[in-house]
Chain A
């Protein structure tokens, strides 16, 4: 039966060409991040400090989305690339005199070099990406839960090496101090926006589309000639490089870098942000990070004691993570695909699909008869 229904659709809307619609999925996250930053930087000095961390975390979570969201494979290992990025940034920007005092056993070429922070940022991306490619060849052949837990082994391996290898860092487990602050909030924001654009651009690529096909069916995708392993390694590399950038930005924000910082708590916080926002969409990664960062800021104020209507409210320290964890568990139970439902930001004035609407009216009329 062919439909001859030519009545105008009952829903108002402007239909836009597809490229514009897909640009919209980029524009909304960018605008949200920009708006969030400009509001947060005006509230209070402490809010702008937290904003720096929020933007660094945003880069990391978007990097994680690039792999987890597109491939559907859980990774607990991304903080390893973050650690590598932070390490690269610190080693390349701390002044040689400071380096010689806190890292006496440093390899000579690292001990003497000091680079421009933006160059160091690019190198951090390269090192993160390279680590991801090398480990990807081993890890990306795994599926499902095994892959998740194996990436976890990667994290532990990297953290152990960074803790104890004194040729590339301080003596066992000590911290690297004196990372010069060269990125102000503006440039951090710019880096975060660029990372979002790159992640989105990757998401539009053929490779990412094939990877998403394999996410939907591990059986059908290879049957259609898609090499899952290959596209997973590509995604892992892109996401490792972006995570390296995240680590470098984080090192610039925190200015003290220590291997033990890149552990379970960091992994958990970032995964929670991704899960809460909705791990299948870039928009979800952005929403989750901004929401949890804002929540963390408010809870941090409450931990220090805050006056609300004549009563001083104060939370025990450490309750931040408890609340984030509880929130995440509730989200997983009641809205497993996250706040955004794993969808990208959609054009709000879209026209309903005429075929779909036609079908619905047809069914409705058939029922009336």
Chain B
């Protein structure tokens, strides 16, 4: 029984991280129709800030990671995506792929190809034993952090004036604009939120591994993106749950696959993704709206 609970807790914490990544991607997609591949490089940027600055002072590192993430998020929109607002989601996706590769090489140029290490929040690597259950502090922090951020985003979206405008823009950007919603502000706020979420992801991941390399954020972004798709890209809640499901199943596969198949855990996740998409092509929570009928 204990190993089962143990693995469920680990899986929940992994799921929480991927849910945050997917939520960041889903929010931006909702408003801009941009499935941002370069979200990974926002996470990487925040990761570098954390790893390099944590030894100096931890509050500085935390603040810097948020500033870097939000800054990068706004910057790439200013430099690239705002010039192609009228283009198709596919073109935006390809462009964001380009931005992602571009930033990866930039990180390589600035910080080198090799892994940069640094203990981020070393206090969290401890684990406590409760009745035979090994509870990693980091797993708990990841779950709590995700819960707080999700609640925060939810409250913001449903209770604040700005949040309602973001929701309206996500439902139908053109109509929302006609009704007098300040599109520039909505876009900036959305990008800022996705930056904040990316910084949170970077915090948990660097605390786990203590290292960053130029492709640090790619894997979590790919899974987040895929999670957002299987949840339903046009529903913010769907993206969140899809991301969680991907992280959760990845962690469960890691724990429970027999030794010979353990190497194939990632392959199994992708297989699962394809199966889900075959059953529900628009995503699990997509509803009945057809996106292509624009």
Contacts and interface: CB of A to CB of B under 8 A. Distances in A.
Interface string A126-148: 00000000010011011111101
Contact of A321 (B80, B105, B222): B105
Interface of A, helix, strand, loop or mixed by DSSP: helix
Contact of A264 (B95, B218, B225): B218
Contacts of B283: 146
B233 to A, nearest CB: 7
A149 B229 contact: yes
Interface residues of A, number: 44
Nearest to A72: B90
A153 B274 contact: yes
A145 B94 contact: no
A333 B78 CA distance: 13
Interface string B85-112: 0010111011101110110011011000
Interface of B, helix, strand, loop or mixed by DSSP: helix
Interface stretch (B48-56, B64-72, B186-194, B264-272): B264-272
A157 interface: yes
A353 interface: no
Contacts of B226: 149, 152-153
A145 B292 CA distance: 10
Contact of B277 (A142, A264, A265, A332): A142
B78 to A, nearest CB: 13
A347 interface: no
Contacts of A157: 267, 270-271, 274
A141 B264 contact: no
A160 B270 contact: yes
Nearest to A337: B91
Contacts of B83: 333
Interface of B: 35, 80, 83-84, 87, 89-91, 93-95, 97-99, 101-102, 105-106, 108-109, 218, 222, 225-226, 229, 233, 263-264, 266-267, 270-271, 273-275, 277-278, 281-283, 291-293
A336 interface: yes
Nearest to A155: B270
Given A153-B274, A332-B91, 14 more contacts: A145-B89, A145-B233, A148-B90, A150-B277, A152-B226, A157-B274, A161-B267, A268-B98, A321-B105, A322-B105, A322-B106, A325-B102, A329-B95, A332-B84
